[in-house]
Structure 1
């Protein structure tokens, strides 16, 4: 190891090869969390239509919840002796969710896109849980359970808000 890496090598009893896979998964979730946060804020800022107030508030609440978990994800990476994302460019290299740079997105399309993105995050988290369990990283596994529940709740709210009638 070089001197810089040595300075950041948090001690852990977890096996380095297995925990690197966990850190890779955590960094992917972190990147997707930032991408989803920004997309949710974008939709919060640009939503229009008859349900403006409800969607505007829901998107803001969901964005805050997504941003609120990013520190826990990054700190878990560091606790395992690994390093995490460092920049917007680093986020874009790791994210799996698509950005939305459209000039206009209908409220219905916003709800569907955010629901689908939250469900994609759930899928990524389920895979991460398997990797964490394989590495015997029980702390990450337990946190992932909470993050899955939160993403499923966001997807549920988005689904219900999109129902007609």
Structure 2
């Protein structure tokens, strides 16, 4: 789909590159949401209550984040991806196989949180160069939250 006629002081090609990066971020965020929600439903063991509640807090925040990311893509004048097929092509986060043990769930979620941070960081330079402060602000908030979540999840493994 072609870009909308958007004149916000960022060249079309640059807006496209930023939207493409945000589409990868959206795919990672949605995939992590789905994985976290899955683990919330299926976690068992002595840490059940703690992990069940922690996973719920995290998937709820991820559900809100996908909307923010998709809306930023739209504000840049491009369609936001919204299908499993598109997300499967764009995401860097692998789907789980079967139902892992609680500690493996934690490890996979740490890796997922860190993947989202890397994706966000990978597009930060172009947003900075384009003076796209709204996207840079969104990326900064996402990185801060995902780094904190990774730390909290990692702490459960020690």
Q: TM-score range by the shorter chain?
A: over 0.9
Match runs of 1:63-142 below 5 Å: 63-102=59-98, 104-142=99-137
Q: Deviations over 1:40-74 (max 9, x none)?
A: 01111111100100001101110111111111101
Paired residues of 2:28 and 2:115 also in contact (CA < 8 A): no
Comparing 80-89 and 110-119, the one that deviates more: 80-89
Deviation, 1:129, is 1.1
Q: Distance in 2 between matches of 1:127 and 1:5?
A: 24
State the alpha-carbon separation in 2 of the partners of residues 99 and 161 from structure 1: 21
* 1:143 and 2:138 aligned: yes
Separation (CA, whole Å) in 1 of partners of 2:120 and 2:32: 14
Q: Is 1:44 matched with 2:29? A: no
Q: How does 1:22-33 map to 2 (within 5 A)?
A: 22-33=18-29
Aligned residue-pair number: 158
TM-score in terms of structure 1 length = 0.90
Match of 2:9 in 1: 13
TM-score (norm 2): 0.94
Corresponding residue SS for 2:82: coil
Name segments (4+ residues, structure 1) moved above 4 Å. Answer: none
How well do the aligned residues superpose, as a CA RMSD in angstroms? 1.4
* SS across alignment from 2:55: helix
> Using the alignment, how far apart are the partners of 1:11 and 1:81 within structure 2?
9
Partners of 1:130 and 1:42 in 2: how far apart?
Answer: 33
Query: Of the two, which has the highest radius of gyration?
Result: 1
Q: Distance in 2 between matches of 1:84 and 1:110?
A: 29
